[in-house]
Every structure is written in C-alpha cells, then in structure tokens.
C-alpha cells in the first residue's frame, strides 16, 4: 500500500490557486534571473533549477527545461541531457 506524504502548509497553495498568475509557472520562472526572490537557484542554456514554494519535504527542488513542452518526449537530446545532469547533481 502506498503511503501519502502530508504537508499541511500546502493548503495555502491549494486555497490561493485563483491568485496565481496565468500561464505556465515554469515558463514564467524561466524568464527570470537567478535570485532568492523568484526562487531560481541555477540556470543553464536549456534547463534550470528552482525551489518549490510549497515543498513536500525539506530541500525539494524542481528541475525544468527552459523550453515549454507538454511531454518530456518532446525535448531534444541536448535539453533532456541537461535536465538529467541537473537531476543527478
């Protein structure tokens, strides 16, 4: 049986969904410089690393490609390689 992680602080995220800017969160962050304010920690040519504003666990990071795609299968080999290198590190 699968156990669910419970993160009660995420209710703020769930209840504030209507207040979020329109568009893809990752596309919005991909345009911004690395800073503590926008939670972007590192940016490469094809991918970037950002903090999760409402993490399930301490140190929960998100790695995303700079280019918007609906599916990871749509990423080029170079994009996928950079994402995977960041995940590994």
Range of the domain at 28: 24-88
Which residue would you say has higher pLDDT here, 31 or 5? Answer: 31
Query: Does residue 42 fall inside a structural domain?
Result: yes
Question: What CATH number did the domain enclosing 31 receive?
Answer: 3.30.428.10
Number of domains in the chain: 1
pLDDT band at 50 (very low <50, low <70, confident <90, very high): very high
Residues 83, 47 contacting (CB under 8 angstroms)? yes
Helix (H, G, I), strand (E, B) or coil at 74: helix
Query: Does residue 76 fall inside a structural domain?
Result: yes
Q: Are strands 47-51 and 61-65 parallel, antiparallel or unpaired?
A: antiparallel
Q: Using CA atoms of 25, 41, 44, 22 in order, give the dihedral in degrees to the nearest 10.
A: 10
Query: Does residue 68 fall inside a structural domain?
Result: yes
Kindly report, residue by residue over 27-45, the tens digit of the pLDDT: 888 888 888 888 899 999 9
Query: Does residue 55 fall inside a structural domain?
Result: yes
H or E stretch covering 26: helix 25-30
């Amino acid at each position: 049986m699968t156990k669910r992680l419970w993160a009660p602080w995420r209710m703020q995220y769930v209840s504030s969904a209507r207040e979020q800017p329109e568009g893809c969160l990752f596309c919005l962050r991909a345009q911004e410089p690395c800073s503590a304010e926008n939670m972007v920690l590192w940016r490469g040519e094809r991918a970037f690393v950002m903090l999760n504003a409402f993490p399930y666990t301490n140190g929960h990071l998100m790695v995303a490609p700079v280019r918007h795609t609906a599916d990871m299968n749509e990423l080029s080999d170079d994009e996928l390689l950079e994402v995977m290198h960041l995940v590994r590190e």
